[in-house]
Amino acid sequence: MQPWKILLRSYASGAWHYRWAGVALAWGVCVVGWAALLFVPNQFQAVAKIYVDADTMMAPLLKGIAVNTDPQQQVSVMLNTLLTRPNLEQVVHLTVPSGRTLSSAEMANEVQKLQSHISLKALGTKNLFEIAFTDTDPNRALSVSQTLLSIFVDSNIGSKRKDFQGAQSFLDDKVAEYETLVREAEQRRAAFRQANLAVLTNTVTPDAANGAVEKTRQDLGAAQARLSSLQRQLNGIPKMIYLDGPPPTGANGQAGRGGSLLQRLAEAKQALLDLSSRYTEDHPDVKAAKRQVAQLQSEITAAPSVGAEGSGSQSIPNPVYVQTQSKLSDAMTEVALQNQRYNDALAVWNKAKSMTSTAIEVATKFADLDRDYGVLHKTYQDLIDRRERARISQSVNDQQSLVIVRIVEPPKKAPYPTAPNRPLINSMILLGGLLVGAAAAFGLSLNAGRFFVKEQLAADFDYPIIGVVTRLSRVDDAAEARRSYTAFAASLVVLLCGYCAVLVIFDAAFRLTLQGLI
């Protein structure tokens, strides 16, 4: 026979010898376990499922207009603050009849019990949560779950309304404070500007004033040069033109020709004067006009002296002289005007030089005042803008919250207990009792000091075994063995029947408890 079979046979023979001790211990374990489980109270659970809708249409529509908050962060804060001590104390006051009269230690104990029996977990879908409360009383479990659900829904409305009111009050105070500061800054800036108006309004720098002086000096020089040119031209033009009487009937006709030459000379000089005022001396038209004037003068010189000054019978004002004199008057006026501009530019330059140091200091102080006013005014405008956004946000919150709590499944009274799982525990008690009984029988056989098979003798003693004398089998022995087997099997069957009876009794007790609660 193989060694493992021999060993198994020896263990089975020893355990069978102590079978009744094992059966008794199995009965004891099962009876004690079932009796203890009988006193374990049932646990009822009320479950509520909620969905926090943070993706409403109001958020994108009010972007940039109202105060932007993170809906997901708000949901996280709502969940984390649900199980805080103030909320749980409110639950105790609403669900415990004597909650108002509890001491601090008793209130702390009740709050701790609530925390250990409240379950808050997220389900598979985003923003879908489950709030559950477990208690031995299904009515109290339902009441606590409903209270927690109401606190969770109200916290979204009440906290935001309180936050908006606090923010609105804070912004109103800050707007009033900064309005006073802005007005004071405006008064300081206006008083400083009025006290230093002459310096602040002088925007001409010494460099710019010097440039203006140079420009007016050049304009004055040009005007004086034109005046001198006109004076020289006027000195060379006769004031009067003398003409003869009626032209003679002679064949030469010199008198008429002389008068015509003088007129042509006056017109040529006028044309030269006009061209000289517009072009330089090297311009072709100016040169041509000079040649024409020189030619006419040479012709007049070569002509007879009839009609010369003092001998003619008629005289007229020289139109060239008159026009040149008019231009001379205009040139003198222009010189006077440019001289006045030059004197004004010199005065501005001297004033700019004298006010430079004072202007820098005044401009620096005014820039400081203006910068302070700008900072205060910008902050004031920002506060007004934020206050308006807070008002819009509060109006939106009064009509519709950006985070909406939807009750997917309201809590209901539990029809069956959720714990303990009595069939499973009873089965584990039965299995444990059987294992303990078998282990006890096996342990007793190991420590008995008896030999149940010849192989144990051969293993423990170094002597050869000649033979084994077996017990003679009698009719009474066979009947006794059958009775022993029957009794052992009956004890196990009764144990299984007791297990089934316990299941039925517990189930009946559960049904009776449920009927009484309903």
Confidence class for position 32, pLDDT limits 50, 70, 90: very high
**Residue 164: what pLDDT?**
59
Name residue, tokens 């501005």.
348
Q: For the segment 450-494, what is each residue's pLDDT rounded down to a tens digit?
A: 655 666 666 666 667 666 666 555 667 667 778 888 888 898 899
Q: Are 68 and 416 in contact (CB under 8 A)?
A: no
Give the chain's count of helices (H) and strands (E): 16, 6
Q: Which helix or strand (DSSP H or E) is residue 97 part of?
A: none
Strand 314-317 to 404-409 pairing: unpaired
**Residue 479: φ, ψ to 5°:** -65, -40
pLDDT in tens, 33-74: 988 888 888 888 888 888 887 655 455 545 555 455 555 666
| Residue 387 to residue 336: CA distance in whole angstroms | 65
d(CA 14, CA 7): 11
Whether the predicted model's global pTM rises above the 0.85 cut? no
**In 3D, which of 394, 380, 334, 340 has the Cα closest to residue 168?**
394
Q: What is the pLDDT of residues 156-212, one digit of tens each?
A: 654 555 555 667 787 788 888 888 998 998 888 888 878 777 666 666 666 777 788
| Residue 250 Ramachandran class (φ > 0 left, ψ -120 to 50 alpha, else beta) | beta
Least confident stretch, 78-82, 116-120, 379-383: 78-82
Mean pLDDT of 213-220: 86
Asked whether the predicted pLDDT for residue 309 surpasses 60, the reply is no
Strand order in the sheet with 404-409: 118-122, 128-135, 44-53, 404-409
Minimum mean pLDDT range among 101-105, 203-207, 428-432, 453-457: 453-457
At residue 190, the pLDDT reads: 85
For residues 332, 338, 340, 341, the Cα torsion angle rounded to the nearest 10 degrees is 170
